[in-house]
């Protein structure tokens, strides 16, 4: 077994150093698991359930028919190994479809008879591994001019900023229960993992030479201070510039950190890596090794801001650079999710049209994206929005997609807003919609007007006309057709006819000149029956 473990690690390092696994720790962990199980003689016992639990972090309630994560990761692994096999001069590693069994074969470029001369499988495998290490190492060194360690090749990204989370240090540890530092680390990792605009790395990883900006987050708990507090500090790795600092106080003489503390950590992640996050803004001012990588990242930031902060003035630039990146064949999954969403918005007449069939193009992009990273939140979110806009809404499919999206990103405010709006506006589950929105509020207190659409709809359907009108004012934006329709309906229902006339003027400027146009827009968005009927009823009121 020791020799087998060494061989497994050597194989892993060889494959990782080839670069075929990209920056995905999931892919590395999955390959390692399959190799170990095969070497231990348990290959025939591997099931999707065991992979989900032991490798991918799913809970014991994992259902392979509802959650596609195992299928997605296995598809990616087979694709990555195929890329490795094309370059390998010594051996091929194969996982047949519908199987989790790993087979290691001599490369077609070499003769199998060379290895068959050795009767001892250990000697044969050792020679095979040594030759592979030499061949793959030379290939990788020739390609990049530098030989990376396994850890740096697996963990650091050249396409996104890298953020190292230093393990939490407790000063006065005896004042808190054991495991508090691990609890804090878990909160931080959970919060930051919700966002894909930065690459998280372990405390032992140095990404200073990755080519993209490198940041270090350090957390200290001062448990015995006069007023106990937690200090969070984020520095730029090479300049040591402090880009963020926060102080979180907690009760004196408390052995356990209060439950609400975790929300403060999740909010910290939002402040740093959400659309207008401090780390994102700082990263675009730093020097990157690749001008293309920096341009792509700035493009992603523009698209991200457009859909979370509604920075409409940057729409054209965000759309064009996103489309150009996809045309170049980028492997960054967010580009496909954002571009699909751009086309969906064009199909809804919310943005200028650029092609004849925007929904068909969105579908095509999402099909491509499934082979890159099907569970990326922007891809899942775009897919959910597209399904929600189909003429015949499949409620059960929407529920399933919402479940998957929330499971993947339970503390991402942008994701929760999307599922909140669809849970209410498409499915009619307004209580669930309110719950998702409430969680989004806890995570992001910026209170962008889009946060209040569900509040408006809920008040419009279930509360008084005055409360509905007050909620409508929160989302009032004269350049938004949907916001103007909502305000017109609420104003008419509350008898606020001066505001209703203002909304009609806004809609006129947007190309909607009559009740027929209003109703057509509402029907195009295909809301759930009750909301649909109420909106049509109240936009049809004639002002006396």
**Position with higher pLDDT, 249 vs 452:** 249
Mean pLDDT to the nearest integer, 142-155: 37
Q: How many CB atoms lie within 10 A of CB 509?
A: 12
Integer Cα distance of 166 and 168 in angstroms = 6
Integer Cα distance of 217 and 192 in angstroms = 11
Share of the chain above pLDDT 70, in %: 87
Per-residue pLDDT at 514 exceeds 90: yes
Per-residue pLDDT at 116 exceeds 50: no
- What per-residue confidence (pLDDT) applies to 544? 56
SS (H, E, C) 45-91: HCCHHHHHHHCCCCCCCCCCCCCCHHHHHHHHHHHHHHHHHHHCCCE
- What per-residue confidence (pLDDT) applies to 101? 87
- What per-residue confidence (pLDDT) applies to 469? 97
Among 23-32, 212-221, 467-476, whose mean pLDDT is lowest?
23-32
DSSP annotation of 24: -
- What per-residue confidence (pLDDT) applies to 42? 80
Confidence of residue 28 (pLDDT cuts 50, 70, 90): confident
Q: Please, what is the average pLDDT of the chain?
A: 84
- What per-residue confidence (pLDDT) applies to 112? 42
Instruction: Write the pLDDT tens digit of every residue in 272-291.
Output: 998 889 999 999 999 999 99
Most confident listed range (30-34, 111-115, 518-522): 518-522
Burial track 122-144 (b if 16+ CB lie within 10 A, e otherwise): eebbbebbebbbebbeebbeeee
Among 150-154, 387-391, 424-428, 441-445, whose mean pLDDT is lowest?
150-154
- What per-residue confidence (pLDDT) applies to 464? 97
Instruction: Write the pLDDT tens digit of every residue in 425-455.
Output: 999 999 999 999 999 988 987 655 566 889 9
**Position with higher pLDDT, 8 vs 416:** 416
Three-state secondary-structure class, residue 104: strand
CATH fit for domain 162-271, picks 3.40.50.11830, 3.40.50.720, 3.40.50.1970, 3.40.80.10: 3.40.50.11830
Most confident listed range (163-167, 251-255, 308-312, 403-407): 163-167
Residue 417 burial (C-beta neighbours within 10 Å; 0-12, 13-18, 19+)? buried
Signed CA dihedral, 474, 306, 502, 352: sign only: negative
- What per-residue confidence (pLDDT) applies to 109? 53
- What six digits make up the tokens of 277? 């996050």
Per-residue pLDDT at 133 exceeds 70: no
Domain boundaries, the chain: 2-155, 162-271, 290-376
Instruction: Write the pLDDT tens digit of every residue in 407-416.
Output: 888 999 989 9
- What per-residue confidence (pLDDT) applies to 142? 34
Per-residue pLDDT at 245 exceeds 70: yes
- What per-residue confidence (pLDDT) applies to 383? 92
CA nearest to 489, candidates 525, 461, 462, 528: 461
Mean pLDDT to the nearest integer, 141-151: 33
Mean pLDDT to the nearest integer, 240-257: 93
- What six digits make up the tokens of 97? 């479809």
- What per-residue confidence (pLDDT) applies to 244? 97
354: Cα separation from own chain's centroid: 27
- What per-residue confidence (pLDDT) applies to 314? 80
- Beta bridge partners, 171, equal 222
Among 165-179, 206-220, 408-422, 448-462, whose mean pLDDT is lowest?
448-462
Per-residue pLDDT at 135 exceeds 70: no
Confidence of residue 2 (pLDDT cuts 50, 70, 90): very low
Secondary element (H or E) of residue 468 = helix 465-474
Per-residue pLDDT at 297 exceeds 80: yes
Per-residue pLDDT at 308 exceeds 70: yes
**Position with higher pLDDT, 536 vs 134:** 536
Mean pLDDT to the nearest integer, 112-132: 39
Mean pLDDT to the nearest integer, 78-102: 82
Integer Cα distance of 438 and 428 in angstroms = 17
């Amino acid at each position: 077994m020791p020799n087998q473990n060494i061989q497994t690690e050597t194989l892993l390092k060889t494959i990782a150093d080839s670069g075929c696994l990209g920056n995905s720790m999931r892919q590395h962990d999955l390959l390692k698991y399959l190799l170990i199980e095969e070497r231990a003689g348990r290959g025939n016992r591997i099931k999707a359930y065991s992979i989900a639990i032991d490798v991918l972090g799913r809970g014991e309630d994992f259902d392979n028919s509802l959650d596609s994560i195992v299928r997605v990761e296995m598809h990616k692994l087979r694709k990555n190994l195929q890329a490795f096999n094309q370059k390998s001069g010594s051996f091929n590693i194969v996982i047949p479809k519908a199987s989790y069994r790993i087979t290691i074969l001599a490369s077609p470029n070499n003769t199998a008879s060379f290895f068959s001369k050795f009767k001892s499988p250990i000697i044969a495998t050792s020679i095979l591994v040594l030759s592979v290490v030499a061949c793959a190492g030379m290939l990788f060194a020739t390609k990049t001019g530098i030989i990376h360690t396994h850890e740096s090749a697996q963990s650091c990204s050249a396409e996104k900023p890298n953020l190292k989370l230093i393990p939490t240090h407790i000063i006065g540890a005896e004042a808190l229960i054991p495991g508090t530092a691990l609890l804090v680390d878990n909160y931080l990792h959970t919060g930051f993992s919700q966002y894909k605009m930065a690459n998280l790395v372990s405390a032992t990883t140095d990404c200073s030479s990755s080519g993209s900006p490198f940041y270090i987050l350090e957390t200290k708990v001062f448990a015995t201070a006069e007023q106990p507090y937690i200090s969070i500090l984020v520095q730029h790795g090479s300049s040591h510039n402090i880009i963020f600092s926060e102080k979180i106080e907690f009760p004196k003489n408390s052995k356990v950190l209060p439950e609400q503390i975790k929300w403060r950590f999740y909010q910290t992640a939002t402040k740093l890596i959400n659309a207008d996050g401090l780390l994102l803004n700082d990263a675009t001012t730093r020097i990157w090794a690749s001008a293309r990588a920096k341009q792509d990242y700035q493009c992603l930031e523009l698209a991200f801001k457009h859909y979370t902060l509604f920075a409409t003035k940057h729409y054209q630039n965000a759309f064009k650079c996103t489309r150009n990146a996809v045309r170049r064949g980028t492997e960054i999954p967010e580009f496909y999710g954002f571009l699909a969403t751009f086309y969906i918005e064009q199909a809804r007449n919310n943005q200028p049209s650029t092609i004849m069939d925007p929904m068909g193009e969105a579908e095509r992009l999402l099909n491509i994206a499934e082979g890159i990273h099907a569970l990326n939140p922007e891809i899942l979110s775009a897919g959910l929005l597209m399904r929600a806009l189909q003429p015949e809404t499949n409620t059960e499919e929407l529920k399933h997609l919402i479940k998957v999206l929330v499971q993947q990103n339970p503390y991402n405010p942008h994701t929760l807003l999307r599922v909140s709006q669809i849970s209410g506006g498409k499915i009619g589950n307004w209580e669930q919609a309110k719950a998702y929105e409430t969680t989004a509020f806890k995570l992001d207190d910026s209170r962008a007007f889009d946060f209040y659409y569900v509040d408006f709809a809920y008040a419009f359907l279930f509360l008084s006309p005055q409360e509905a009108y007050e909620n409508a004012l929160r989302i009032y934006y004269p350049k938004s057709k949907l916001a103007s329709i909502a305000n017109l309906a609420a104003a008419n229902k509350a008898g606020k006819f001066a505001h209703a006339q203002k909304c009609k003027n806004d809609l006129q400027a947007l190309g909607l000149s009559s009740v027929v146009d209003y109703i057509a827009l509402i029907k195009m968005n295909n809301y759930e029956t009750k909301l649909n009927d109420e909106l049509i009823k109240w936009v049809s009121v004639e002002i006396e």
